Structure 1
Amino acid sequence: MGVLSRPEEVPALLRLKLAAGRIRRQIPPQEHWAFAYHMLQRVSRSFALVIQQLGPDLRNAVCVFYLVLRALDTVEDDTAIPNEVKLPILRDFYRHIYNPDWLFSCGANDYRVLMDNFRQVSTAFLELGEG
């Protein structure tokens, strides 16, 4: 069913669209943040909308956290990776997020883009404050 079948939802959808536009203008200008929020939209449109409703500090942290988990899941789900390669990567993944030079290409489509540019996520992670 389309939006026109539920006209009572149109005002809420418009408010959400306007809020998303305002929030997009609040994304930090650095390349790694632009990449992080772009990839968030690519790998999870529905969750991205929820994340974008959060305050700036929490929004950035949850965005990075989500992308780290997507990357971890991408490695885990890739059946082309032999277990003897995959398991050490999964075990040490928490270390990889601290290393912007780490690269492991796997997955397909947007997930491969995420993995091929994981340094951007690492850079954003390293920029998060403690808390």
Structure 2
Amino acid sequence: MRRGNITKSYLSISSPGTHFGDDAAARSLAREVNEYGARTRDAHPERFGLFASLPLPDVDGALAEAAYALDVLGADGVAVESNHHGVYLGDERLTPLWEELNRRGALVFVHPTSPPHADAVDLGRPRPMLEFLFD
């Protein structure tokens, strides 16, 4: 970071996120990576911040993890992917999460990810090169 003249970086999980089909496993993985990120940030607070991972599309798990990450870990905000297994950020199922994050004035970092069924249109190229631009 010093060589690149980077003053501070925010830690977060990139795509594909922490949910691989099982809500309980996703909740556990999100907690593990958020606690690891908090420990790293705490060891170097002048260099790192933390955007917590949420186990979306599990809304109940995401609400619980957002509260834990923001209230207990002191995360600077949350990071979400542009869709979670085809559930896009504007989906009404996510309304309770957005209402809670809005109530808190929480910062939300959106990271692009592959859209559903991207393999049908990726032309054999790396998905970030083609599909992230459209998601």
Q: TM-score, normalised by structure 2?
A: 0.25
Q: Which has the higher strand share?
A: 2
Tell which structure's C-alpha radius of gyration is larger: 1
Asked which structure has the greater RCO (Cα within 8 Å, sep 6+), the reply is 1
TM-score, normalised on structure 1?
0.25
